[in-house]
Structure 1
Amino acid sequence: MEIRGDLKTYSKYVSLNVAGMIGTSVYILADTLFVANGIGETGIAALNLALPVFSLVQGLSFMLGIGGATWYSILRAQNKHEEATKSYNQTLLFGALISFVIILLGLFGSESIAKLVGANQETFTMTNTYIKVIMVFSPFFIFNNMLIAFIRNDRNPKLAMTAMLLGSLINIIFDYIFIFPLNMGMFGAVLATSCAPIFGLMLMSTHFKRAENSLRLTKIKLKLKSFWTITKLGVSSFISEMSSGIVMFIFNILILGIAGNIGVAAYGVISNLAIIAIAIFTGVAQGIQPIISHIFGLRNSKLLNRNLIYGLITSLSISVLIYLIIGMSSEQLISFFNRDNNMILAEIAKEGLLIYFVGMFFAGFNIIAIACLSAMDQSGLAFRFSILRSVILIVPFSFVLANSFDLTGVWASFVLTEAITSVLISWQLYRSNKQRIII
């Protein structure tokens, strides 16, 4: 069965993946809401310090899942079914190896990692607990996200979405039970998050009983060349996910120096709402990816252009809607996280939201455009733009602007980074289209 490139197919894949990614982002949002109301602002600060590690685990799983699934889709579109099956099995093997390494790091290095991300005497115990449990449970996150990508590309996006939503629902239920009736604190929050993907995996196992299933297990030998191909196609997804973690890490360190733990807690409110926004854009990107990969394999430039335009229009529409919600409801949104009605936290968070979320107009475009480049086997370009927005620009901008404008400079550095990246991507797409390099 072919993936058609019409508006109906685009809407189906994108809407299902946006819903699923919002569900996935609720993992962290639910933790933060329950921690905020069950533990308080110190808990939010500790959680925010630990989140870059969660972003790393998620980023690796997206790299393997999106990279392997993109390769799989291109091969199947070219009727290379045996090679496609091998790509699927190689991805699973690499996922197992990476999971093993992360478990070892979690068991023996979580305390060092907690200190590295900025945990102090007040937040160390909770930060260390969150990091250790996330890393020990990393195989479930990694295989969950890998299978979501492959099952979506195997013409079953509805099951992939349902699995993501089920995990989020389980996380919310367990968060409440573990934090309030059982009074398990931060350990309860991270345990709830870590159990959630297990249920998603259980649900997705039903895909392999379908007659239409084309994902088969087969004996293979480990091939580093395959890992390079998977990584090359998925690295932009890794960096897109990790960019949130990198920004969070840098901002945490800067904000600790400017406003202490209360500032980090306020940033925790901003970063959690930003995770929802980024998840929506990532959902659009992941929804359009199998369509773009398939059409690219068929070399249909007209259909390819049409779907790229769909993606860009979607990005702009979502950006406007998100900023309207933030602008009109910032005080109400902040109150959900501010159990003790701390006025300093509320003021910092409100200013930060209004400045930081201007960057979402550019971030949405960047995420979708980079995913499309990767889906069209332009992994070099995708990687360069991903690393540009997540490291090369944001690091110096945040330090320079924070030094000059304190917290306002921290928020503005995100906006400036995404805006410059958007200009450069637009220029590259214009040149590539004019010279027929991409399509």
Structure 2
Amino acid sequence: MDVKAYRKQFARFASLSVLGTLGVSCYILADTFFVAKGLGTNGLAALNIAIPVYNFIHGCGLMFGMGGATKFSICKSGGAKKQTNEIFTNTVYLGILFGVLFALVGAFFSRPLAQFLGADPAILSMTDTYLKWLLLFAPAFIMNDILLCFVRNDNNPLLATNAMLVGSFSNIILDYVFIFPMKMGIFGAIFATGLSPIISMLIMSLHWIKKENGFGLVRSRVNWGIIKTDFSLGFPSLIGQLASGIAMIIFNMLILNLEGNVGVAAYGVTANISLVVVGVYTGIAQGVQPLISDAYGSGDRKAIHLGLRYAMTTMAVLSILIYLVLYVFADPITGIFNSENDPKLQQISVIGMKIYFTSVLAVGFNTIIAVYFTSIEKALPAHILSLLRGLVLIAPIAFLLSALWDMTGIWLTYPVTEGVVAVLGYVVYRKTRISPNHIVSASDQDS
């Protein structure tokens, strides 16, 4: 294997993927900025109450996209063209089904959902509006995630990145136009965000102009084996998003009791910046995934470990830089979103940001190691670690630490949870790593 060429390939895939995932993350960050400027603290609080639902939608899109695209890469390396088309088609079936289910919830249950998530009378109307249209646009969000993963894994990461960046830039422009000149309020924010994945998919339609593209829709009955694979290999990607969403729901409820809507708005600044930070790690993981899956499919053990090492090294360097920037500039960053110059919001957010983002190294490790396990079809350890960080540990730790140290305890919950899971993840990796004498073969994959 040519190590230098492999390094260049990793750099290309990872850098383009990070740019792209940052673009998707900026969908909500742009809403946060313009809502804060146009609608103040209550608008920011309403947005933060609604955002966990976006994590659920985006998580489903990534689950189907990453699950299907991982299997697609493995099959593609073996030349199974018919099977790759069937994988894509069945993944689209899943995307349509879940997109419609989310849209139905938005059409009929957005207000009760807003109340369940903690919206009080002061912000209920804005939260309801944002949730309703977020859920109605769910089919677009999910299908965009699926197409991005498949296009990237079909050796076209540049087009996937361009699609995400154009979609994100469109969102920023439309946010401004709808909220300020057109005075559409919070509906304008979500309408701009909902149009962004549609624009992104239009850009990606150029992929089918290529004669050598590796996937397309075919007539196919539902293949339960492919459906199961999509869920199994993509589940950690879902849980990675759910971890953020569930944390936001729990934190919002606890913070409402401690600091009210101002506290929720302050947390919203940190939580939405966290979406961007997690987007960096998701980009690295998605960038290295096709390389590891291809190496696994062809039996190149050295390339598998080299890809993981490059991903982890890149993540560690970026984590240090990210934390230094957020620590040093916590005050001016918060000020960007504090349009009413609320001193309480400023104080809570600055302190929280410095504590909350001590988690960055552990979050990056957990994101990448989960995708590594699924890339080599070891779904079980990825499932266990993902469930621990997303569902099992975070709630009890949040209630315990908030009872002990109030807001400081809430800010510490995320670093403690991710740190515990990172330690466990490293132990599991050491116990399950492919041995130096084990070369993956087709028979291994089929067994």
CA shift at 1:428, angstroms? 1.1
| Runs ≥4 residues deviating over 4 A | 434-439
CA distance in 2, matches of 1:121, 1:144: 34
Summarize deviations over 1:192-228 as a string: whole Å, max 9, x none.
1001111111111111011221222210011333211
The farther-off stretch of 427-436 and 81-90 is: 427-436
* One-letter amino acid of the counterpart of residue 324, structure 2: L
Summarize deviations over 1:235-289 as a string: whole Å, max 9, x none.
1111111111111111001100111000000001101111111100000011011
Residue 72 of structure 2 contacts residue 84 of structure 2 at CA under 8 Å; is this kept in 1?
yes
Residue 19 of structure 1 contacts residue 161 of structure 1 at CA under 8 Å; is this kept in 2?
yes
CA distance in 2, matches of 1:142, 1:69: 14
CA distance in 1, matches of 2:330, 2:321: 14
Q: Which residue of 1 aligns with 2:118?
A: 118
% same residue: 38
> How do 1:180-199 and structure 2 match up within 5 A?
180-199=180-199
> How do 1:33-432 and structure 2 match up within 5 A?
33-432=33-432
* One-letter amino acid of the counterpart of residue 69, structure 2: A
- Secondary structure of 1:309's partner? helix
CA shift at 1:434, angstroms? 7.5
Q: Structure 1 residue 16 and structure 2 residue 8: aligned?
A: no
Summarize deviations over 1:150-209 as a string: whole Å, max 9, x none.
000111000000000011001000000000001111000000100111111111111101
CA distance in 2, matches of 1:107, 1:4: 53
- Secondary structure of 1:115's partner? helix
- Secondary structure of 2:217's partner? coil
* One-letter amino acid of the counterpart of residue 139, structure 2: P
* One-letter amino acid of the counterpart of residue 291, structure 2: I
Summarize deviations over 1:91-126 as a string: whole Å, max 9, x none.
111111111111111101111111111111011111
* One-letter amino acid of the counterpart of residue 272, structure 1: N
CA distance in 2, matches of 1:252, 1:170: 30
Residue 300 of structure 2 contacts residue 439 of structure 2 at CA under 8 Å; is this kept in 1?
no
Residue 5 of structure 1 contacts residue 307 of structure 1 at CA under 8 Å; is this kept in 2?
no
CA distance in 2, matches of 1:153, 1:56: 23
Residue 5 of structure 1 contacts residue 303 of structure 1 at CA under 8 Å; is this kept in 2?
no
* One-letter amino acid of the counterpart of residue 421, structure 1: V
Summarize deviations over 1:401-426 as a string: whole Å, max 9, x none.
00110010001011111111111111
CA distance in 2, matches of 1:5, 1:392: 41
- Secondary structure of 1:220's partner? coil
CA distance in 2, matches of 1:375, 1:96: 24
* One-letter amino acid of the counterpart of residue 269, structure 1: V
Question: Which stretches in structure 2 are left out of the alignment for 5+ residues?
Answer: 441-447
- Secondary structure of 2:222's partner? coil
CA distance in 2, matches of 1:21, 1:428: 27
CA distance in 2, matches of 1:435, 1:415: 32
CA distance in 2, matches of 1:112, 1:293: 43
Residue 62 of structure 1 contacts residue 234 of structure 1 at CA under 8 Å; is this kept in 2?
yes
* One-letter amino acid of the counterpart of residue 276, structure 1: V
TM-score after normalising by structure 2: 0.96
Residue 27 of structure 2 contacts residue 193 of structure 2 at CA under 8 Å; is this kept in 1?
yes
Change (3 A) 1:40 1:153: same
Residue 18 of structure 2 contacts residue 280 of structure 2 at CA under 8 Å; is this kept in 1?
yes
Change (3 A) 1:29 1:323: same
- Secondary structure of 1:371's partner? helix
- Secondary structure of 1:217's partner? coil
The farther-off stretch of 225-234 and 395-404 is: 225-234
Question: Which stretches in structure 1 are left out of the alignment for 5+ residues?
Answer: none
Change (3 A) 1:288 1:220: same
Summarize deviations over 1:60-110 as a string: whole Å, max 9, x none.
110111111111111111222211111111111111111111111110111
CA distance in 1, matches of 2:168, 2:303: 35
Change (3 A) 1:4 1:195: farther
Residue 62 of structure 1 contacts residue 146 of structure 1 at CA under 8 Å; is this kept in 2?
yes
* One-letter amino acid of the counterpart of residue 53, structure 1: V
CA distance in 2, matches of 1:435, 1:289: 20
Q: What is the root-mean-square deviation in Å for CA atoms of aligned residues? A: 1.6
Residue 330 of structure 1 contacts residue 353 of structure 1 at CA under 8 Å; is this kept in 2?
yes
